Amino acid sequence: MPYKNIVFVKLEKRLLNDPRWWSMSEPAQLIYVKLILLAADTYNKIPKNDIVLRKALRSRLNLKSFQKCLKEIKNNFPKFKDNKHYCYFEEFETKTNYIPKREIPRKSLGFPKGGADKDKEEEEDKDKEKNQPYWTVFSEKNTGLLKTVYKKGFNIYALLNRFKKECGFDLPEKVVAKVCEYFVNNQEKVRDNWAWFIVSVKKASEEYFAEQNIREGQEWKNQSAAQSIKTIIAGMGKEARNA
C-alpha cells in the first residue's frame, strides 16, 4: 500500500535535557507524550472536556489527579494552549511530518491542476479538519455503539449535532453511550426521535451526574462538565415533559 496520510510525531531527544520536563511528575510526563500523539490523530484538535480527554488518553488517574497533571503541563509548556472549542499545540506543524494525499507521487492522468485548484483543495482539507465531530475520539466500544444505533435507523449523529447547535456544548461520552444503550433496549418505543432523545439525554445526564458525584465528590461538582450536566437537567425539563 502506498505511503499516504502517514503522521510521524517528533519527540526530540533534547527533551531529556530540558529542566521543565524533569520538573514534572512521571504521570504528567506520560500524559504530555500521549497528548502529542492524540494531537497528531485529531489534527491538533484535542478535546477540551477533561473527562472526555482522560477517556481518550486511556488514563487510569482519577479526575483530580489527571487535571493536576494537565496543569503541570500547561505551566511548563506554554505552547500547549486551549481556546473555547479545543486544546492544541502551538506550532504543531514543527512536530509532525504529514503527507497529504495530493502530494503523493503518482502517474499523471492529464494536465496538472492550476494554483487556484490547489488552493481550493487546501481550503477544503482545512474545512474537513475543522469540522471533525467530537465523538471521533470516543473509545472503540462507544464508537461501535454509535454505529450500531445508526444502522438500526436512528440517526444519532444528526441528533448530537442538533443538540450541540442548540445547546452550545458537547455531551460527555458516557452520557452518549447511555442514550445509545437506552435506544437498543427500547427501540420499539421511539416515536419522535428528537423528543425521545431529549428525554433520554436528561435521564442519562442525571444518572451520570449521580455516578460521578459518588466517585469524585465535591471536586466533580465544581468542574465545567458538571455545570454542563446541570444545564442539561435544568434546561430540558420542559421539553422532556412535552415528549
Lowest mean pLDDT among 79-83, 188-192, 232-236: 232-236
The domain boundary, picked from 73, 94, 115, lies at 94
- 122 lies in a domain? no
Residue 243 has pLDDT above 50, yes or no: no
Furthest-apart CA pair in the chain: how many Å?
65
Q: Mean pLDDT score of the chain, rounded to an integer? A: 76
- 107 lies in a domain? no
Q: What is the pLDDT of residue 53?
A: 93
Digit-coded pLDDT (tens) for 75-125: 988 889 998 889 998 887 777 665 545 544 555 455 455 555 555 566 665
Q: What average pLDDT does this structure show over 224-240?
A: 55
**pLDDT band (50, 70, 90) for residue 1:** very low
The domain boundary, picked from 65, 94, 123, lies at 94
- 112 lies in a domain? no
| Euclidean distance between CA atoms 61 and 56, whole angstroms | 13
Number of independent structural domains in the chain? 2
Alpha helices in 131-186 (DSSP H): 140-151, 156-167, 173-186
- 232 lies in a domain? yes
Q: Are residues 54 and 138 in the same domain?
A: no
Q: Are residues 160 and 230 in the same domain?
A: yes
pTM of the model as a whole:
0.43
| CA-to-CA separations, 235 to 48, 49, 215, 240, in angstroms, rounded | 23, 20, 25, 10
Q: Are residues 139 and 225 in the same domain?
A: yes
Helix count and strand count (H, E) for the chain: 12, 5
Residue 229 has pLDDT above 90, yes or no: no
**pLDDT band (50, 70, 90) for residue 27:** very high
Q: Are residues 71 and 145 in the same domain?
A: no
Grid cell, residue 43, equals 489534527
Residue 47 has pLDDT above 80, yes or no: yes
Q: What is the pLDDT of residue 133?
A: 74
Grid cell, residue 143, equals 464508537
Residue 141: give the domain boundaries: 134-242
Q: What average pLDDT does this structure show over 228-243?
A: 54
| Euclidean distance between CA atoms 154 and 207, whole angstroms | 22
| CA-to-CA separations, 22 to 25, 31, 73, 95, in angstroms, rounded | 7, 14, 11, 20
Rg for the chain, CA atoms, rounded: 21
| Euclidean distance between CA atoms 117 and 111, whole angstroms | 12
Q: Are residues 147 and 86 in the same domain?
A: no
Q: Are residues 86 and 157 in the same domain?
A: no
- 63 lies in a domain? yes
Q: Are residues 138 and 236 in the same domain?
A: yes
- 118 lies in a domain? no
Digit-coded pLDDT (tens) for 136-169: 778 888 888 999 999 888 898 888 888 888 877 7
Q: Are residues 89 and 138 in the same domain?
A: no
Q: What is the pLDDT of residue 22?
A: 84
Q: What is the pLDDT of residue 15?
A: 76
Q: What is the pLDDT of residue 234?
A: 59
The domain boundary, picked from 94, 123, 145, lies at 94
Grid cell, residue 160, equals 448530537
Position with higher pLDDT, 7 vs 200: 200
Q: What average pLDDT does this structure show over 32-49?
A: 88
What is the residue whose three cell numbers read 509548556?
77
